[in-house]
Copies of this chain bind each other. A is one copy, B any other.
């Protein structure tokens, strides 16, 4: 695993819990942790029993005892590490967003397609797909319970930049992060819209904004320039005809981690909010009229996705549990010789939407079409 920050911690917990709570056909063994900062990486290794720390990711990728490379670094390094790992024949799990640019994303999808020919698997870390309520949502849509889709509303609202004196971080740098709220959290909203509906966004009109342009450096010396968006609002269409509305912001005061998505079809609707992650709201328009309404499903029954491995009904899961689900599903796919989802191609499709948002914004909010996947790498 490369990376030792917030994501390094979440992934470490995911691998460990996959083994303790599930019975994956391949049993994960933590081999080595990669991180340029040996002290910081060493502390994480100590907490989660990583036996080895490598300060050069190339050394980690070269190790014989490493079969899966889990990339948890900032977005600007994803392409280089993931492509190298795939070429070295290692299965790859890569944190989202796939890359900082469409070009990088295309190269990665290409590399994944090639590696696949040799049985090497790649998977992208849109982990929220494996929050049980959202896995259930996908199942209900796929079963046709919503009928013909008319509307999708997907927004990811946070508020950690509301205060104009909140300090500067690498996430505000276009070079490191690629974009701001758009790529960090908007990517989740777009991926979920595409995942839940099974359709692609075919075009957008967008406005983005940077409300605060300079922020104090955390070390107290001066300010850093914010070169990414603080917020992005866009509307679009899914290729099945539904109207879509998106938003990603770090200025939604009081909304801490509100990834909200609602789907309306002519037979039913679904609504979800990540701040209440064990709950899915489902409206069945085919039910008896007098008892129709949104049903608040507490997604903690053994019949619900992934829940059989955990606690009794009503004992909720937390943020990190989906990382175990992701690990289990990757191990199962490697064992079965199938392709895990989401693929790098799925990531590329999200990247194309993000790029179209920026393009639309730069063109003053005009409609920007997104081409349908054309190459084999994009449809994997």
Q: Which of A's residues lie within 8 Å of B, judged by CB?
A: 6, 9-10, 12-13, 16, 19-21, 47-48, 136, 139-140, 146, 150-151, 153, 155, 158-160, 162-164, 203, 205-207, 209, 211, 231, 233-235, 237, 241, 243-245, 247, 249, 251-258, 264-269, 274-277, 282-285, 289-298, 300-301, 303-304, 311-321, 364-367
Contacts and interface: CB of A to CB of B under 8 A. Distances in A.
14 contacts: A6-B311, A16-B16, A150-B211, A162-B285, A163-B266, A205-B366, A206-B235, A235-B245, A253-B268, A255-B269, A290-B303, A296-B296, A364-B366, A366-B366
Given A243-B209, A364-B367, A140 B254 contact: no
A331 to B, nearest CB: 15
| Cβ-closest 8 pairs across A and B | A257-B314, A256-B314, A254-B283, A318-B318, A365-B367, A205-B205, A315-B319, A293-B297
B320 A151 contact: no
A103 B315 CA distance: 32
B256 A300 contact: yes
B304 A297 contact: no
A250 to B, nearest CB: 10
Given A252-B269, A313-B257, A295 B292 contact: yes
Given A16-B16, A251-B264, A254-B269, 4 more contacts: A6-B311, A205-B205, A207-B235, A255-B314
Nearest to A158: B314
A359 to B, nearest CB: 13
Contacts of A365: 203, 205, 235, 366-367
A21 B319 CA distance: 14
A252 to B, nearest CB: 5
Contact of A293 (B162, B164, B247, B295): B295
B265 A245 contact: no
Given A303-B290, A319-B311, A253 B269 contact: yes
A53 to B, nearest CB: 16
Given A253-B268, A290-B301, A295-B295, A234 B235 contact: yes
A102 to B, nearest CB: 21
Contacts of A256: 298, 300-301, 313-314
Of A21, A249, A314, the most chain B CB neighbours within 10 A belong to A314
A292 B364 CA distance: 37
Contact of A254 (B231, B294, B312): B294
B320 A311 contact: yes
B274 A314 contact: yes
